[in-house]
Amino acid sequence: MLYLDTHAGAGTYDLLSPEALKIEEHKQGVLKVWNRDDVPAVAQPYIDLLKRMNPSGTLSLYPGSPWIAHHILDENDRLILNELHPSDMPLLTDLAHPFRNMRVFRQDGLLAVNALLPPPEKRALIFIDPSYEIKSDYETVAQAVIKAHKKFSNGVYAIWYPLLKSGIQNNLLDKFKDSGINHQFIIECKANVDKEARMYGSGMLIINPPYQVDTQIKEAVKWLQKVI
Protein backbone atom coordinates (compact mmCIF):
# COMPACT_ATOMS: atom_id res chain seq x y z
CA MET A 1 0.00 0.00 0.00
CA LEU A 2 0.92 3.67 -0.21
CA TYR A 3 1.17 5.87 2.86
CA LEU A 4 0.99 9.48 1.76
CA ASP A 5 1.70 12.03 4.48
CA THR A 6 0.82 15.52 3.25
CA HIS A 7 2.20 17.47 6.24
CA ALA A 8 4.88 15.17 7.60
CA GLY A 9 6.67 17.42 10.12
CA ALA A 10 10.07 16.39 11.47
CA GLY A 11 9.39 12.67 12.01
CA THR A 12 10.64 12.74 15.60
CA TYR A 13 10.56 15.44 18.28
CA ASP A 14 12.97 15.99 21.15
CA LEU A 15 10.83 16.76 24.20
CA LEU A 16 13.92 17.92 26.10
CA SER A 17 15.00 20.51 23.51
CA PRO A 18 15.01 24.14 24.74
CA GLU A 19 12.03 24.96 22.49
CA ALA A 20 9.99 22.01 23.79
CA LEU A 21 10.92 22.72 27.41
CA LYS A 22 9.74 26.31 27.03
CA ILE A 23 6.12 25.26 26.48
CA GLU A 24 6.15 21.70 27.88
CA GLU A 25 3.08 20.89 25.82
CA HIS A 26 3.63 17.17 26.28
CA LYS A 27 2.82 17.42 30.00
CA GLN A 28 -0.83 17.97 29.07
CA GLY A 29 -0.84 15.08 26.62
CA VAL A 30 1.49 12.20 25.96
CA LEU A 31 3.15 12.30 29.40
CA LYS A 32 -0.25 11.64 30.98
CA VAL A 33 -0.88 8.51 28.94
CA TRP A 34 2.40 6.74 28.48
CA ASN A 35 2.78 5.16 31.94
CA ARG A 36 -0.84 4.36 32.71
CA ASP A 37 -1.73 0.85 33.82
CA ASP A 38 -5.28 0.99 32.43
CA VAL A 39 -4.42 1.31 28.72
CA PRO A 40 -7.17 -0.33 26.64
CA ALA A 41 -5.95 -3.02 24.23
CA VAL A 42 -6.79 -0.82 21.28
CA ALA A 43 -4.33 1.91 22.41
CA GLN A 44 -1.57 -0.49 23.51
CA PRO A 45 0.24 -0.63 20.14
CA TYR A 46 0.72 3.15 20.32
CA ILE A 47 2.07 2.96 23.89
CA ASP A 48 4.38 0.11 22.78
CA LEU A 49 5.77 2.37 20.05
CA LEU A 50 6.40 5.14 22.58
CA LYS A 51 8.29 2.68 24.82
CA ARG A 52 10.29 1.35 21.88
CA MET A 53 11.32 4.90 21.05
CA ASN A 54 12.23 5.64 24.68
CA PRO A 55 13.85 2.44 25.94
CA SER A 56 15.51 4.19 28.92
CA GLY A 57 12.11 4.65 30.54
CA THR A 58 12.24 8.46 30.37
CA LEU A 59 9.94 10.03 27.83
CA SER A 60 12.30 12.26 25.86
CA LEU A 61 11.37 11.54 22.23
CA TYR A 62 7.96 11.90 20.65
CA PRO A 63 7.05 10.11 17.42
CA GLY A 64 5.54 12.05 14.53
CA SER A 65 3.27 10.49 11.96
CA PRO A 66 6.10 9.36 9.57
CA TRP A 67 7.91 7.53 12.39
CA ILE A 68 4.72 5.76 13.45
CA ALA A 69 3.80 4.81 9.88
CA HIS A 70 7.32 3.52 9.20
CA HIS A 71 7.20 1.24 12.26
CA ILE A 72 3.77 -0.14 11.41
CA LEU A 73 4.21 -0.72 7.70
CA ASP A 74 6.62 -3.12 6.04
CA GLU A 75 9.18 -2.92 3.26
CA ASN A 76 6.61 -3.68 0.56
CA ASP A 77 4.71 -0.55 1.44
CA ARG A 78 5.67 2.83 0.04
CA LEU A 79 5.88 5.98 2.15
CA ILE A 80 5.79 9.44 0.63
CA LEU A 81 6.42 12.27 3.05
CA ASN A 82 5.81 15.90 2.14
CA GLU A 83 7.02 18.82 4.20
CA LEU A 84 7.71 22.49 3.52
CA HIS A 85 9.55 23.71 6.60
CA PRO A 86 13.34 23.92 6.03
CA SER A 87 14.27 23.02 9.61
CA ASP A 88 12.10 19.87 9.64
CA MET A 89 13.56 18.60 6.37
CA PRO A 90 16.99 17.38 7.63
CA LEU A 91 15.42 15.34 10.43
CA LEU A 92 12.85 13.84 8.11
CA THR A 93 15.47 13.11 5.47
CA ASP A 94 17.68 11.36 8.07
CA LEU A 95 14.76 9.21 9.12
CA ALA A 96 13.99 8.15 5.56
CA HIS A 97 17.54 7.88 4.23
CA PRO A 98 18.28 4.21 5.11
CA PHE A 99 15.02 2.95 3.62
CA ARG A 100 14.35 2.50 -0.08
CA ASN A 101 10.58 2.57 0.35
CA MET A 102 10.50 5.99 2.08
CA ARG A 103 10.80 9.23 0.12
CA VAL A 104 10.79 12.80 1.31
CA PHE A 105 9.70 15.76 -0.80
CA ARG A 106 9.93 19.45 -0.05
CA GLN A 107 6.63 20.31 -1.63
CA ASP A 108 3.08 21.35 -0.86
CA GLY A 109 1.42 18.17 0.38
CA LEU A 110 -1.98 19.13 -0.98
CA LEU A 111 -0.58 19.47 -4.48
CA ALA A 112 1.12 16.10 -4.04
CA VAL A 113 -2.25 14.52 -3.28
CA ASN A 114 -3.53 15.64 -6.63
CA ALA A 115 -0.39 14.58 -8.50
CA LEU A 116 0.09 11.14 -6.92
CA LEU A 117 -3.41 9.72 -6.85
CA PRO A 118 -4.59 7.21 -7.87
CA PRO A 119 -1.55 5.17 -6.83
CA PRO A 120 -0.39 2.05 -8.68
CA GLU A 121 -0.78 0.07 -5.43
CA LYS A 122 -4.56 0.73 -5.51
CA ARG A 123 -4.54 0.88 -1.68
CA ALA A 124 -3.55 4.02 0.18
CA LEU A 125 -3.80 5.89 3.44
CA ILE A 126 -3.62 9.63 2.88
CA PHE A 127 -2.81 11.26 6.19
CA ILE A 128 -3.52 14.99 6.34
CA ASP A 129 -2.33 16.82 9.44
CA PRO A 130 -2.01 20.54 8.66
CA SER A 131 -1.39 23.28 11.20
CA TYR A 132 -4.23 25.45 9.78
CA GLU A 133 -2.18 28.61 10.25
CA ILE A 134 -4.16 30.47 7.61
CA LYS A 135 -7.94 30.73 8.03
CA SER A 136 -8.59 29.66 4.47
CA ASP A 137 -6.71 26.37 5.09
CA TYR A 138 -9.96 24.78 6.28
CA GLU A 139 -11.53 25.27 2.86
CA THR A 140 -8.33 24.54 0.94
CA VAL A 141 -7.85 21.19 2.68
CA ALA A 142 -11.46 20.16 2.08
CA GLN A 143 -11.31 21.16 -1.60
CA ALA A 144 -8.07 19.21 -2.15
CA VAL A 145 -9.45 16.05 -0.55
CA ILE A 146 -12.80 16.23 -2.33
CA LYS A 147 -10.95 16.61 -5.64
CA ALA A 148 -8.60 13.71 -4.81
CA HIS A 149 -11.56 11.53 -3.84
CA LYS A 150 -13.02 12.03 -7.32
CA LYS A 151 -9.82 10.55 -8.80
CA PHE A 152 -9.37 7.86 -6.17
CA SER A 153 -12.55 7.04 -4.27
CA ASN A 154 -11.25 3.86 -2.57
CA GLY A 155 -8.48 5.56 -0.61
CA VAL A 156 -8.59 6.01 3.13
CA TYR A 157 -8.30 9.72 3.89
CA ALA A 158 -7.64 10.74 7.51
CA ILE A 159 -7.90 14.47 8.13
CA TRP A 160 -7.01 16.01 11.46
CA TYR A 161 -8.59 19.29 12.58
CA PRO A 162 -8.48 21.32 15.80
CA LEU A 163 -11.57 21.96 17.91
CA LEU A 164 -11.55 25.74 18.28
CA LYS A 165 -14.02 27.77 20.29
CA SER A 166 -14.45 30.07 17.30
CA GLY A 167 -15.99 27.13 15.40
CA ILE A 168 -13.92 27.83 12.28
CA GLN A 169 -13.36 24.09 11.80
CA ASN A 170 -17.00 23.96 10.61
CA ASN A 171 -15.79 25.52 7.35
CA LEU A 172 -14.03 22.21 6.72
CA LEU A 173 -16.76 19.95 8.09
CA ASP A 174 -19.56 21.70 6.17
CA LYS A 175 -17.70 21.20 2.90
CA PHE A 176 -17.51 17.45 3.55
CA LYS A 177 -21.18 17.32 4.62
CA ASP A 178 -22.14 18.81 1.27
CA SER A 179 -19.64 16.76 -0.75
CA GLY A 180 -21.79 13.69 -1.36
CA ILE A 181 -18.89 11.48 -0.23
CA ASN A 182 -20.12 8.31 1.46
CA HIS A 183 -18.46 6.48 4.34
CA GLN A 184 -17.37 9.47 6.39
CA PHE A 185 -16.57 8.91 10.05
CA ILE A 186 -15.94 11.76 12.48
CA ILE A 187 -14.41 11.41 15.92
CA GLU A 188 -13.67 14.23 18.34
CA CYS A 189 -11.65 14.19 21.54
CA LYS A 190 -12.45 17.01 23.97
CA ALA A 191 -10.24 18.07 26.84
CA ASN A 192 -10.93 20.13 29.96
CA VAL A 193 -9.27 23.43 29.19
CA ASP A 194 -8.94 26.89 30.77
CA LYS A 195 -11.54 29.53 29.97
CA GLU A 196 -8.99 31.51 27.96
CA ALA A 197 -7.91 28.57 25.79
CA ARG A 198 -8.75 28.87 22.09
CA MET A 199 -8.51 25.15 21.42
CA TYR A 200 -10.43 22.51 23.35
CA GLY A 201 -9.59 19.31 21.54
CA SER A 202 -8.89 17.45 18.33
CA GLY A 203 -11.03 15.98 15.62
CA MET A 204 -10.42 13.47 12.85
CA LEU A 205 -12.52 12.93 9.79
CA ILE A 206 -11.90 9.58 8.10
CA ILE A 207 -13.21 8.73 4.67
CA ASN A 208 -13.54 4.97 4.07
CA PRO A 209 -12.51 3.90 7.58
CA PRO A 210 -11.33 0.27 7.46
CA TYR A 211 -13.57 -2.36 9.05
CA GLN A 212 -14.05 -1.81 12.81
CA VAL A 213 -11.68 1.15 12.96
CA ASP A 214 -14.58 3.40 13.98
CA THR A 215 -15.45 1.26 17.02
CA GLN A 216 -11.80 0.94 17.98
CA ILE A 217 -11.14 4.67 17.78
CA LYS A 218 -14.26 5.43 19.82
CA GLU A 219 -13.02 3.12 22.56
CA ALA A 220 -9.53 4.68 22.55
CA VAL A 221 -10.93 8.23 22.63
CA LYS A 222 -13.29 7.39 25.50
CA TRP A 223 -10.25 6.38 27.56
CA LEU A 224 -8.13 9.29 26.33
CA GLN A 225 -10.75 11.85 27.33
CA LYS A 226 -10.80 10.44 30.85
CA VAL A 227 -6.99 10.57 31.10
CA ILE A 228 -6.35 14.02 29.68
User: What residue ranges bind ligand SAM (CB under 6 A)?
Assistant: 7-9, 64-65, 82-85, 88, 108-110, 129-131
Verify whether residue 5 is a known catalytic residue: no
Nearer Cβ to ligand SAM, position 69 or 173? 69
* Residue 142 to residue 120: CA distance in whole angstroms: 24
Nearest approach, Cβ of 180 to ligand SAM (angstroms)?
26
Nearest approach, Cβ of 218 to ligand SAM (angstroms)?
21
- 3-state DSSP call for residue 101? coil
Burial class from Cβ neighbours inside 10 Å (0-12, 13-18, 19+) for residue 99 reads exposed
CA atoms within 13 A on the CB side of 145: 35
In this structure, are strands 12-14 and 61-63 parallel, antiparallel, or unpaired?
antiparallel
Indicate which residue of 48, 74, 129, 174 is catalytic: 129
How many angstroms from the chain centroid is the CA of residue 182?
21
Nearest approach, Cβ of 38 to ligand SAM (angstroms)?
25
Residue with the CB atom nearest ligand SAM in the bound state: 64
- Give catalytic residues, as residue numbers: 129
